[in-house]
Structure formats: C-alpha cells, structure tokens
Amino acid sequence: MTVVSPVDQEVDTLRRSPLGARATEFAARSGPAVQLAEEPFLTQVDLRVHPGSPAVARIEHALGLALPHHEPNLVSGDEDAAALWLGPDEWLLTAPDGRAPTILAALDDALSDSLGSTVDVSANRTALRLSGPMSREVLEKLCSLDLHPRWSFTPGHCAQTLIGRTQAILWQLDREPTYRILVRNSFAAYLADVLLDAMQEFTAG
C-alpha cells in the first residue's frame, strides 16, 4: 500500500512510508489493551544551539515553543508541535508533514548572528504510536528504562534508548499511556515485529 501525503498530492508525487504496507496488519493485531500504528511523514528538524545564546529567545518566539534546557529529557509543546531535549545543546523539533521549510526559514532568521545549525531529518525516521492501558507493559519487555510513573518518565518526557536492541527516541504523550517511538526507517520493520511479538499476550483472544 502506498501512503500519499497531502503535501505531495499537490505536486502529484508519491512517497512511501517504511511501514505503509502494514497498516492493516497493525490494526488486526491490535486490541483494546494495546494498539500499534505508524505515524508517517512527521516533520523532524534537528536544532543545535548553545542554551545561553541570545538566539534562543528568538527561536522560542518564532516557534511558539520553549526549548527545554533546565532538565534533561523534557518535551515542550504537544504531539502536533514540540521540542524534544536530546542533549545540552540539541533539540528535535517535530511538526505535521510539510512544515520543515517554514521551520528552517524561521530558525535561519533567528540564528542569523549566532552559532548554531539546523538539519531537516524528516526522512531519517518514521514514528510508531503505541497506545492502550498495557502499552507500558509491552515496552518494559523491550526497554531497560524504568517507565513506571512513580519515577520521572511521565507525559512530557522523552529519552534516547534501546528498544529491542534498536536505537530509538521514546516519547510519552499522555497518561493512557500513549508513546511515540521515533526510529530510523531501516530499522522500522524490525522494531514493529518486536513490538507486535511483545503485544501478543495482551491481544490474543
């Protein structure tokens, strides 16, 4: 199955998401306790800038988002537009499909007299959405992080970690819990298989 982005429909171009052909399979193997789906074509922009730079205030104003830098692994914004802390001077900016040119232009203006860099990495990763009341239990089979809400991993937190021996960015979206997992396209099929296998005990009827 080919997944067509609304942006590409305007220019009559087709794009394929790495897991687009498996949407029906994901739906069939999901259940009330846990669901898996792909969220293809998210805009993802990598931003590097020193947190003490005067450009930070301009960037935050242009984006309408704070850049979390007082505490590691925080996320500002929401699942539609967010800034994820990846390191002391690095953030991943996410937005709906097709927003990269607008974001890059705004960042270039904000960085005009400051050191920093911006890279469109949208084509580098796809996103998997794992949701449902047993989704944390599924992840705990595959990830060494302590995801229990009594600790620090709660909505609005992210981490670069290994999930089933695959490097990914894990982001908790809400208290259901719902997680967004950003994974390199070349590893997406493998990670999906591992997640589906871990889901099986909660979805077998």
For residue range 13-34, what is the model confidence (pLDDT) as tens digits?
678 999 999 999 999 999 999 9
pLDDT at res. 13? 62
Average pLDDT value for the chain: 93
pLDDT at res. 167? 98
- Mean pLDDT for the stretch of residues 92-120: 97
Q: Report, in angstroms and rounded to the nearest whole number, the Rg of the chain calculated over CA atoms.
A: 17
Helices (DSSP H) in 43-184: which residue ranges? 55-63, 100-110, 135-140
pTM summary value: 0.91
pLDDT at res. 150? 80
Measured CA to CA in angstroms, residue 195 lies from 66, 122, 164 at distances of 32, 23, 8
List, edge to edge, every strand of the sheet that includes 90-95: 75-77, 82-87, 90-95, 43-48, 117-120
Question: Residue 122 pairs with which residues in a beta bridge?
Answer: none
- Mean pLDDT for the stretch of residues 3-9: 49
pLDDT at res. 171? 98
Distance CA 68, CA 96 (A): 20
